[in-house]
Structure 1
Amino acid sequence: MINCPNLSCQTPNSEDTNTCSVCGTPIPHHYLWVVGAAQLGQPGDYLYSRYEIKGERIVLDTQPGLIPESPPEFPSFVLPYLALSGYALNVPRPYALLQDGEGGAVLLLEDAAIAAKTAADIPQLLPALNDCWEGASPLRQLNWLWQIAQLWQPFATERVVSSLLELPLQRVEGATVRLLELRSDSTDTVELSHLGQVWQPLAERAHAGLQDFLQTLCQRLEAGEFTQAEQLIACLDSAVLALGQGQTTEYEIAVQTDQGPVRQRNEDACYPASGTHQTYTIVPQSRALQPLLMIVCDGIGGHQGGDVASQLAIAAIGEHLNAKLTQPHLSAREISAAIETAICAANDQIAQQNDSEARQARDRMGTTLVMALILGPQIYIAHVGDSRAYAISQRSCRQITLDDDVAAREVRLGYGFYREVVDHPGAGALVQALGMNASQSLYPNLQRLIIDDESLLLLCSDGLSDNDRVEQFWRNELLPVLQQRQSAAAGTATLIQLANTYNGHDNVTVGLIRGRAVDAAKQPLPAELASPTPVATRPAATIIAPTAAPPAKARAKSSLLPLLIGIIGLIGIAGGLIAFFFSDLFRERQQLVPPVVNTVPELSTPTAAPPASLRPGTYARIQSLQSSSELPLPLYQTPQLVDSDNPALSGTIVGRLPAGSLVQVIRRQEATDEFRWIQLRVCTSTNQAGNDQADPLDPSEPARPPASAAAASQPTGNEGWVLESQLATLVEAVDRPTAAELSGCDR
């Protein structure tokens, strides 16, 4: 039985019920994977009087209306789940953390690799990748490996990359790889070459046309020819592109926007035009391949111009993509960069109009964005704000974008589980949207999907997604579209109607993209393609983009956009307190102030790519200083607020880096709009001073070393922050550090 989540009702309902028998409230079914419990008990028993045991390590929350349990502090094994919350398609999300009474912790994971209930009423695990391998198409086999390669670097940063080496943890739901749980890395270094060893048995059982390519790839991985995950990704990108060109793919797209029952005007906007319903067939080796573009924007600004901002964004993105994608032979990385550039151009155009009209604070207009760019069997998804994308399969409906709001930020930074922080005041306040600031402080979120069978994507504004309406209605309204029992146009119309009926507080925009691989590609891939330095190619392409610009001035609107100003306190070890003020955007319906939180380094993907030697996870060596009298480079305890007029830094120095030091890049953060900080871990430090000189890793001011001083290696494991502008000219990349040099990084 599941208690009604309506706290004023709480009527017990049978497990096969979707709505409460008394009040009609939707009944959520949270099937959870248990991590950390040695013995659960028998099916039908209860864990902590709340979670019904359904099978081996699978439980059901019978009280979904109550906030799940979580302690004030999390054990270290939980933190990687939070930091990797942006990888929603592949990584399960912490739901609750229970204490077992003996000092241990039991973690419950939602969105784990658990299939929907079977006819026997027992939820089952999704099948293992290893078990489904031989029955998969060639493109799907490549797709699975490509997803694992995409996860390697972020998993390595969080020290859970061992999860990608254990095949039993890798489950599949159609084209998607789903991790059952994460495994922390041991003290031994996990190398990319280990992936070649794990993949070798798969290569031997791969589709005949892939065997030469995959076996060569595994051999080169094991030999250490691939030194960085991005090389492996680029290699698999080339293979996917080559194989995808031989696949016939059908697409059906439909999009519709509606003012809603209470709004005086529609601040949402979409591309193509509302009411569009089209079908496309992309045939193998098509030289006239035209990318398909869908955009959903939700304007912010009330009477100050939210509708203008959303139209500006669509026009600018279309214009920039049309100019870029006409170039032939673009790689996946170049296409991603083109999308980021287009989004930043749209952001700057809106911001410039705000500036030209002297709009300040809450008077500034802006917009959220979610978009899909279709190129053959690949779909690029980008978003800013809280407009969402969902992926619908035969078994599930999953949100694949992570809202740019306070709740998601607090989860990513390790402050709490989503089910807890989402109920905090101001949790839905936006932390970024297009047009509010210069693009230097904008971080578009990008991901890519590969269509190798049947797939359905939903893009929508929060007029539909609020109150979990997508999760409530997907089985009845979206599955028929996926199964071609209903057209995409009928699906969008129905979702608009449901949004207006069950939400009704906002404008609503809905776009559907149904993709289907009609004729799978089977041509063999040459072994020569398994190279660490591939060159990806694709046919030239064009986009039909909107040409008319929106009105230059905003029209009168009905209400003002509130501006949320939060204060983040940064507590330093030296006892200094520096206040950072920032503006968190939020929706007209969410006039709440987010809680004050401590500043910690924030993981985010910058608009401008970092130098190759300063990407997270890479190693670099400090080169010779410009003069023998120059002090070693300082490491700061935390990123500092930098005054562009007086760039002198006064924060707590935890160490110094003399020439010859080997460092690992941990993460990057911007303390302000202009100054970017890099967090480093010191693997080996070379002391250039003589024995009578101060230790360069001593935070105190060191003596200036003589030019002829002997060097001494000091593995340290220290971590600290430096300005990228100071570091970039003093480092050289180190592709393969020695084991001795890496010893300090494990401390």
Structure 2
Amino acid sequence: MQNEAAMLQCPNEYCKAVNDERDKYCQQCGTFLPKRYLWAVGSGIKDYQIGEVIAQRYLLKSEYIVLDTKPGLPLEAQACEITAKTKPYLRLIPYRLQVPQVYGFLPGRADCDVLLLEAPIYAEGTPLAGQLLPTLAEAWQSATSLRQLNWLWQIAQLWQPLSSEGVASSLLDLQLVRVEGSLVRLLQLRSQPPQPTIADLGRVWLELVNRAQPSIAEFLVQLCDSMLAGDLSADSLTTALDRGLTELGRSQVRKIVISTLTDTGPTRQRNEDACYPPSGTTTMTSAPAIAIVCDGIGGHEGGNVASQLAIDTLQQVKQLPLNDIYLDATTLTSELERFVRIANDRINQRNDNEQRFGRQRMGTTLVMAVERAHEMYITHVGDSRAYWITRTGCHQLTLDDDVASREVRLGYSLYRNALEQVSSGSLVQALGTSSSTALHPTVQRFILDEDCIFLLCSDGLSDYDRVEEYWDTVLLPAVNGSLKEADAVTRLVEIGNSQNGHDNVTVALVRCTVKYSEPTTPLNIALLQESQFDDRQHAAIASHRDLNQQECPDPSSRKTVLLPAQRSNSRRLLPILLGTILLLSVGGGLLAYFLPQFHRRQPLNNPTTLPSPLASPSPTPATLTVGTLVQINRQINLEQNPNAIATNVTSQSQLAQVPTNGILKVTGKKENLQQGDLLRLKFLCAINPPDNFNATAQIQLGQEGWIEQANLLPNIEKTLGQTKSNSCPISTESLPTSTSPLNSPLPSPHTGSEN
């Protein structure tokens, strides 16, 4: 007989009936009963006995696992500050698929010394619900070579962000590294000085080599040797594993099925959602697949136009050479981001053409899945979501671009506390609402090595945790093949309408079925050498550089018409369309003849063709990355203290001037979601600095300072590529040495107050 303590209170505030832990729904009102199994971190948890209910809420199930028996209640008000121990969890929320998030603090502890984490514990709906997932070491030997390399690749990708928060030592303890199918999940974060190195990681990985699959064993031996010798950085380690995964991916056969459906819903008069492939279609392919969901922002006039405009632009991603296995991930990620910015610019242009201001401006969210070989790329802006469903669980992949998420990301608040704010659900970015220089699309990459579903949906379905509620009864059967994809999306739309009903509902289901055969030939050790693989990557890119020069009419030049329930007669539009096309052609020819320089410098203001996705970078990119060299076309000021910029504090004594034609290198980047990213720039040299340059404020060679990215971009004459060197890339006339306000060392991106 189950202990009375293991009873759950119904989260329905009008019911609050007590239910058995094994019940999925409240036996009195039918409300879904979420099971929150949490991992307790802190020595204080040892003060309690297994089976004890702590603070009349948290049931201690095992030594460190507790169950929240009142999941519908807000967290108890406690005077618990965000400390150095807590902050890394919050700031690493973009990696929450692998890094556990803080659920709250254990009540009744005066010093708030016990954290409750959303840790790697089997989810409800699985036979082992409430138990810890296995360690990587326990699951290693039975895994395929593709999965073994996939696990190491995920760890390598986590190395840099965890190092920046001082918790990279978490990756060295194999008891903390858990796995759920193909996914790596950390049990908790650990800070243990001194800061570990890649060589330390290599020593840990050597423990796994003897039990690795034969096809990758020697490759891993050589890889670990390079790590121990200090020959690999975090980036080069990830690149080497990427190359190995690419080769192993050739031994995999994939089948992709996409099914889409959108519905206006029971309370809305117009459907502002849009999807690709078109609603109501189910397609099966072994070729690269693309699925998109956009949700026109509610309350914004013309949201349906914005969402369709985004779909029309983004579906052109299919022009990319996705079939070429040597198209590298960095290039593809950049191209996906570029397409998003093109869509953003086109919606902005339509808004400007129609003189829309404030809430009259149309906008849309975006979530897109692009399959390429053995990988799936998820691109996201706004609060439409992507979920990843496997046989062992359902995971939300995207992080909503709203106020609550921003507060957590900046380290200000726990997520559940941030949700209590009045404006917590307000979006901080969407397509069409601001300039592309302030847009930060997220692109994530996942290795396909098990049967799974990627679910894209608008908030008409995802609100109130409906996906988490129904994944095991609707989506898990689709993963197993016992429910057809079209039937699954129909059922999901019905759930959105009947259980939520407040908004349009759109669903795109991408089912991936994979079959992998172990290679008979060991992985080539030459993949660890950059030149051989990079040559093939460059050849693949060059062969497709002119592939996408097809004309694509610019939808942003059309007048927005709010669509009625029934489509108008297309025959009436034919003369108008023909006349419009003729006028655009004549007008475009005249502009090209008389204003060639204007057309060249502003290609996205009114484009008549979709820019080639693999064309050379534009002189002024939408965002800059660390290592980029830039030449400025006018004098700029750099600030010594980035916090002065973030808080809008003017400190003229800390400013230094960089002259016109100065060449600078981006050496650091600091996120500031309210004002845009901050860049740390190193002054390398200047080409013919002006004679009247203010000597009392000039900057010394090699010195650094900070500036808002949005303020730098308009002043860039051109970019000069990427470099690891800190020397001037061209012959110049150097500035004379003088006293500068930037002589003192600058704070690193991760020091100083950020609150």
Instruction: Supply the distance in 2 between the matched residues of 1:634 and 1:303 (Cα, whole angstroms).
Output: 38
Structure 1, residues 316-365: CA drift from partner, whole Å, max 9, x if none? Answer: 11225515658884211111111001111011011111111111110100
Instruction: Supply the distance in 1 between the matched residues of 2:455 and 2:134 (Cα, whole angstroms).
Output: 25
Q: Greater shift after overlay, 192-201 or 503-512?
A: 192-201
Residue 333 of structure 1: SS of its match in structure 2? helix
Distance 1:7 1:326, change over 3 A: closer
Identity of aligned residues (%): 41
Query: What pairs up with 1:519-534 in 2 under 5 angstroms?
Result: 519-522=516-519, 523-531=521-529, 534=533
Pick aligned residue for 2:203 from 182, 197, 203: 197
Distance 1:116 1:326, change over 3 A: closer
Alignment correspondent of 1:150 = 157
Instruction: Supply the distance in 1 between the matched residues of 2:747 and 2:203 (Cα, whole angstroms).
Output: 24
Distance 1:490 1:656, change over 3 A: same
Instruction: Supply the distance in 1 between the matched residues of 2:98 and 2:24 (Cα, whole angstroms).
Output: 26
Query: What pairs up with 1:544-623 in 2 under 5 angstroms?
Result: 552-556=558-562, 608-612=623-627
More strand by share: 1
Query: What pairs up with 1:71-150 in 2 under 5 angstroms?
Result: 71=79, 73-98=81-106, 101=109, 103-110=111-118, 112-116=119-123, 123-150=130-157
Instruction: Supply the distance in 2 between the matched residues of 1:742 and 1:221 (Cα, whole angstroms).
Output: 30
Distance 1:256 1:525, change over 3 A: same
Structure 1, residues 652-700: CA drift from partner, whole Å, max 9, x if none? Answer: 7679999xxx998463548756xx523699xxxxxxxxxxxxxxxxxxx
Distance 1:206 1:438, change over 3 A: same
Alignment correspondent of 2:481 = 484
Instruction: Supply the distance in 2 between the matched residues of 1:484 and 1:528 (Cα, whole angstroms).
Output: 40
Contiguous gaps of at least 5 residues in structure 1 = 282-289, 559-605, 616-629, 644-648, 682-701, 712-718, 736-740
Alignment correspondent of 2:241 = 236
Instruction: Supply the distance in 2 between the matched residues of 1:134 and 1:158 (Cα, whole angstroms).
Output: 31
Alignment correspondent of 1:169 = 176
Instruction: Supply the distance in 2 between the matched residues of 1:326 and 1:143 (Cα, whole angstroms).
Output: 21
Instruction: Supply the distance in 2 between the matched residues of 1:633 and 1:303 (Cα, whole angstroms).
Output: 38
Instruction: Supply the distance in 2 between the matched residues of 1:82 and 1:428 (Cα, whole angstroms).
Output: 18
Distance 1:733 1:104, change over 3 A: same
- May I ask how many residue pairs the two structures share in their alignment? 636
Instruction: Supply the distance in 2 between the matched residues of 1:10 and 1:161 (Cα, whole angstroms).
Output: 43
Residue 309 of structure 1: SS of its match in structure 2? helix
Contiguous gaps of at least 5 residues in structure 2 = 1-6, 565-620, 659-664, 683-694, 727-744
Q: Deviation of residue 92 (structure 1)? A: 1.1
User: Which amino acid in structure 1 is aligned with residue 400 of structure 2?
Assistant: D
Alignment correspondent of 2:670 = 667
Distance 1:87 1:197, change over 3 A: same
Q: Deviation of residue 368 (structure 1)? A: 0.3
Distance 1:159 1:118, change over 3 A: same
User: Which amino acid in structure 2 is aligned with residue 304 of structure 1?
Assistant: E
Distance 1:732 1:238, change over 3 A: closer
Distance 1:109 1:359, change over 3 A: same
Scaled by the length of structure 1, the TM-score of the pair is: 0.77
Residue 458 of structure 1: SS of its match in structure 2? strand
User: Which amino acid in structure 2 is aligned with residue 18 of structure 1?
Assistant: K
The answer to whether the aligner puts 1:60 opposite 2:67 as a matched pair is yes
Structure 1, residues 434-483: CA drift from partner, whole Å, max 9, x if none? Answer: 01112111000110111112111111000100111111111111110011
Q: Deviation of residue 103 (structure 1)? A: 2.9
Instruction: Supply the distance in 1 between the matched residues of 2:699 and 2:123 (Cα, whole angstroms).
Output: 69
The answer to whether the aligner puts 1:270 opposite 2:278 as a matched pair is no
Scaled by the length of structure 2, the TM-score of the pair is: 0.76
Q: Deviation of residue 116 (structure 1)? A: 3.5
Alignment correspondent of 2:11 = 5
Alignment correspondent of 1:32 = 38
Instruction: Supply the distance in 1 between the matched residues of 2:174 and 2:530 (Cα, whole angstroms).
Output: 24
The answer to whether the aligner puts 1:463 opposite 2:457 as a matched pair is no
Q: Greater shift after overlay, 242-251 or 477-486?
A: 242-251
Residue 335 of structure 1: SS of its match in structure 2? helix
Q: Greater shift after overlay, 98-107 or 3-12?
A: 98-107
Alignment correspondent of 1:585 = none
Query: What pairs up with 1:642-721 in 2 under 5 angstroms?
Result: 650-651=650-651, 665=668, 667-669=670-672, 672=675, 677-678=678-679, 721=706
Instruction: Supply the distance in 1 between the matched residues of 2:141 and 2:121 (Cα, whole angstroms).
Output: 21
Residue 94 of structure 2: SS of its match in structure 1? coil
Alignment correspondent of 2:599 = none
Distance 1:119 1:325, change over 3 A: closer
Instruction: Supply the distance in 2 between the matched residues of 1:84 and 1:238 (Cα, whole angstroms).
Output: 27
Residue 103 of structure 1: SS of its match in structure 2? coil
Instruction: Supply the distance in 2 between the matched residues of 1:743 and 1:426 (Cα, whole angstroms).
Output: 33
* Native 8 Å contact 1:405 1:430 kept in 2: yes
Structure 1, residues 70-125: CA drift from partner, whole Å, max 9, x if none? Answer: 53521211101111111121111111113664635110012x11114699987211
Distance 1:214 1:507, change over 3 A: same
Alignment correspondent of 1:635 = 640
Instruction: Supply the distance in 2 between the matched residues of 1:113 and 1:614 (Cα, whole angstroms).
Output: 42
* Native 8 Å contact 1:52 1:59 kept in 2: yes
Q: Deviation of residue 250 (structure 1)? A: 1.7
Q: Deviation of residue 530 (structure 1)? A: 2.0
The answer to whether the aligner puts 1:219 opposite 2:220 as a matched pair is no
Alignment correspondent of 2:191 = 184
Give the aligned CA root-mean-square deviation in angstroms. Answer: 4.1
Residue 516 of structure 1: SS of its match in structure 2? strand
Residue 327 of structure 2: SS of its match in structure 1? coil
* Native 8 Å contact 2:669 2:678 kept in 1: no
* Native 8 Å contact 1:667 1:680 kept in 2: no
Instruction: Supply the distance in 2 between the matched residues of 1:277 and 1:546 (Cα, whole angstroms).
Output: 28
Instruction: Supply the distance in 2 between the matched residues of 1:201 and 1:498 (Cα, whole angstroms).
Output: 48
Instruction: Supply the distance in 2 between the matched residues of 1:119 and 1:436 (Cα, whole angstroms).
Output: 42
Distance 1:113 1:317, change over 3 A: same
* Native 8 Å contact 1:636 1:653 kept in 2: no
Pick aligned residue for 2:22 from 3, 16, 31: 16
The answer to whether the aligner puts 1:506 opposite 2:531 as a matched pair is no
Instruction: Supply the distance in 1 between the matched residues of 2:29 and 2:369 (Cα, whole angstroms).
Output: 38
More helix by share: 2
Alignment correspondent of 1:280 = 285
Structure 1, residues 469-509: CA drift from partner, whole Å, max 9, x if none? Answer: 11111111111001111011110010011111111111111
Distance 1:380 1:607, change over 3 A: farther
Distance 1:670 1:182, change over 3 A: closer
Pick aligned residue for 1:294 from 271, 291, 296: 291
Instruction: Supply the distance in 2 between the matched residues of 1:309 and 1:517 (Cα, whole angstroms).
Output: 35
* Native 8 Å contact 2:399 2:405 kept in 1: yes
* Native 8 Å contact 1:81 1:182 kept in 2: yes
Instruction: Supply the distance in 2 between the matched residues of 1:453 and 1:143 (Cα, whole angstroms).
Output: 11
Alignment correspondent of 2:330 = 333
Instruction: Supply the distance in 2 between the matched residues of 1:472 and 1:642 (Cα, whole angstroms).
Output: 42
Alignment correspondent of 1:357 = 354
Q: Deviation of residue 174 (structure 1)? A: 0.4
Alignment correspondent of 1:582 = none
* Native 8 Å contact 1:40 1:57 kept in 2: no
Distance 1:463 1:614, change over 3 A: farther
Instruction: Supply the distance in 2 between the matched residues of 1:632 and 1:174 (Cα, whole angstroms).
Output: 51
* Native 8 Å contact 1:117 1:123 kept in 2: yes
Distance 1:518 1:8, change over 3 A: same
Distance 1:546 1:343, change over 3 A: farther
* Native 8 Å contact 1:669 1:678 kept in 2: no
Residue 55 of structure 1: SS of its match in structure 2? coil
Q: Deviation of residue 241 (structure 1)? A: 1.0
